[in-house]
Amino acid sequence: MTTFLGVPLRRHAHAPESPLRGTESFPQAARRELANPQLRANLAHATATIRAKRAAVVGELADWEALRDSGSAIKADVMARLPELLEQFEAAFTARGGTVHWAADADEANRIVTELVRATGADEVIKIKSMATQEIGLNEYLEEQGIAAVETDLAELIVQLGHDKPSHILVPAIHRNRTEIRDIFVSEMTGVVEGLTDDPRELAMAARTHLRRKFLSARVAVSGANFGIADTGTLCVVESEGNGRMCLTLPDTLITVMGIEKLLPTFADLEVFLQLLPRSSTGERMNPYTSLWSGVTPGDGPQDLHVVLLDNGRTNALADEVGRAALHCIRCSACLNVCPVYERTGGHAYGSVYPGPIGAVLTPQLTGMQGHDDPNASLPYASSLCGACYDACPVKINIPELLVELRARSVDDERGGMPGGWDAAMKAASWVMSDPKRFAAAEKGLQLGRIVAGRDRKISTLPPPLSGWTQSRDLPAPPAQTFRAWWRETHPEEQA
């Protein structure tokens, strides 16, 4: 039998695992990740490097703040006019020989893509890294349907070959170092040269050789989109390695899965976002390759073009202010790279394909928070609210403010039921502190703390329910003398 301590244990009855939801709360997952020194070393190196590069190239642009203001306003305009802009995009893309599909949820999007692939007779597709297809678990779905999805971005390939999960929006294998990557290649890749070292150039060339054959023979490619332009029906993919260009150019059929929030109203708006995105994400003045296509070009590139417009919770998010602001996100990952919490816990702790500060807002908005025991309900607390993410965000999403609002909502949701441990502790403290005699009695107990603390003057473990506090913090030992005792000793004349 367990003693009831005010913190009821509940099961995750309504929260099945998905690409947007892990199986455990952020504090639980974070504790495990924090204990991995290799992960912390990799992350500290990676985030510090990107932070420095980003700061340097952003500093070069005297009009950076004006670009952010413009980017923010354009996104607000898109959200306000979304139905009209989506219809405009659909008409323009269709007029130039493309086909537009609409998917209400992940399952429908997966089915649409599968049917399109089946219609070509292919049993393999090459893929460009895409958050939307990760979010719907497309690769896993295709595998179940007997279609192999081959990731062609180097980091995604590392994750796929390592039977692993991505941990960063932009650099999904950021948690792996070169030795780990070498070992994955040697054990999982066919035809690896003998004596492959862990030199990044050698590893990149191994990936080139591995994928070259796929690129030259593939008939179907699947991509996401960084932007869709409403007035011209243009789709845009921003990338570095050329794997994107290979997928977008060589196959006969191209299927693009795009979240409905990815639109920009006009082609000219690209002038803002093609400056904001690369500098914020990789810290480059421009990414090596950007591809733009507005339907079919006879004799050049895929002749069978599709785009799947994906809702999958976005309309839920759109219905309130927090969600709407989160939908402005252009997935640059600048907020991850400046976040002290992300830097220490890594991306897997968030349980969603969208980790870090923006993930802590976006994920619960896309899925909804299904009560206290939903792991996603813990995400708004995965922040120190230091504000670095807001400063870094190229479209000025006020992430700390949104997190505070979500915390307030989750607290409000808890009201009216059984009092929680926190409520009970506050009530007890109030009772003790409202009476001098009780307070003096309580102070006597403090001496016990010094014994518990031991020589290092730190208390690392307290019994439940106070263990909740000391799980993630050390408590300093109480002083040898309380203030009230010291006052009595030094001011005997004041005693009544």
Which residue pairs, CB below 8 angstroms and at least 24 apart, start in 434-439?
none
Name the residue nearer to another protein (CB basis): 199 or 435. 199
Name the residue nearer to another protein (CB basis): 77 or 443. 77
Token digits of residue 176: 């792996």
Work out whether strand 289-293 and strand 234-239 pair parallel, antiparallel, or are unpaired: antiparallel
> Which of these, 384, 395, 388, lies nearest to 325 by C-alpha position?
395
Q: Dihedral of CA 371/372/374/376: which sign?
A: positive
Give yes or no for a contact between 316 and 366, defined as CB atoms under 8 angstroms apart: yes
* Residues 108-131 as b or e (16 or more Cβ within 10 Å = b): bbbebbbebbeeeebeebbbbbbb
Name the residue nearer to another protein (CB basis): 99 or 145. 99
Q: What is the rounded CA–CA span in Å between residue 402 and residue 389?
A: 12
Quote the least distance from Cβ 217 to another protein, whole Å. Answer: 8
Quote the least distance from Cβ 174 to another protein, whole Å. Answer: 8
274 C-beta neighbours (distance < 10 Å), count: 18
> Which of these, 222, 56, 26, 24, lies nearest to 142 by C-alpha position?
222
Quote the least distance from Cβ 321 to another protein, whole Å. Answer: 7
Q: What is the rounded CA–CA span in Å between residue 45 and residue 6?
A: 42
Quote the least distance from Cβ 2 to another protein, whole Å. Answer: 43
Name the residue nearer to another protein (CB basis): 29 or 334. 334
Give yes or no for a contact between 372 and 414, defined as CB atoms under 8 angstroms apart: yes
φ/ψ of residue 141, rounded to 5: -65, -45
Quote the least distance from Cβ 380 to another protein, whole Å. Answer: 20
Name the residue nearer to another protein (CB basis): 43 or 477. 43
CA 144 from chain centre, in angstroms, equals 26
Q: In 3-state terms, what secondary structure has residue 228? A: strand
**Amino acid at position 168, single letter:** H
Using only the alpha carbons of the chain, give its radius of gyration.
26
Q: At what angle do helices 64-80 and 82-95 cross, to 10 degrees?
A: 90
Quote the least distance from Cβ 11 to another protein, whole Å. Answer: 31
Give yes or no for a contact between 354 and 168, defined as CB atoms under 8 angstroms apart: no
Quote the least distance from Cβ 93 to another protein, whole Å. Answer: 11
Name the residue nearer to another protein (CB basis): 334 or 382. 334
Name the residue nearer to another protein (CB basis): 130 or 383. 130
Quote the least distance from Cβ 283 to another protein, whole Å. Answer: 9
Quote the least distance from Cβ 42 to another protein, whole Å. Answer: 8
Name the residue nearer to another protein (CB basis): 21 or 175. 175
Token digits of residue 488: 């009595």
Q: At what angle do helices 37-59 and 270-281 cross, to 10 degrees?
A: 140
Name the residue nearer to another protein (CB basis): 244 or 359. 244
Name the residue nearer to another protein (CB basis): 120 or 482. 120
Q: In 3-state terms, what secondary structure has residue 227? A: strand
CA 165 from chain centre, in angstroms, equals 12
Quote the least distance from Cβ 156 to another protein, whole Å. Answer: 9
Q: What is the rounded CA–CA span in Å between residue 102 and residue 63?
A: 38
Quote the least distance from Cβ 314 to another protein, whole Å. Answer: 8
Q: What is the rounded CA–CA span in Å between residue 449 and residue 461?
A: 11
Q: Which helix (H) or strand (E) covers residue 178, if one does? A: helix 178-188
Name the residue nearer to another protein (CB basis): 298 or 417. 298
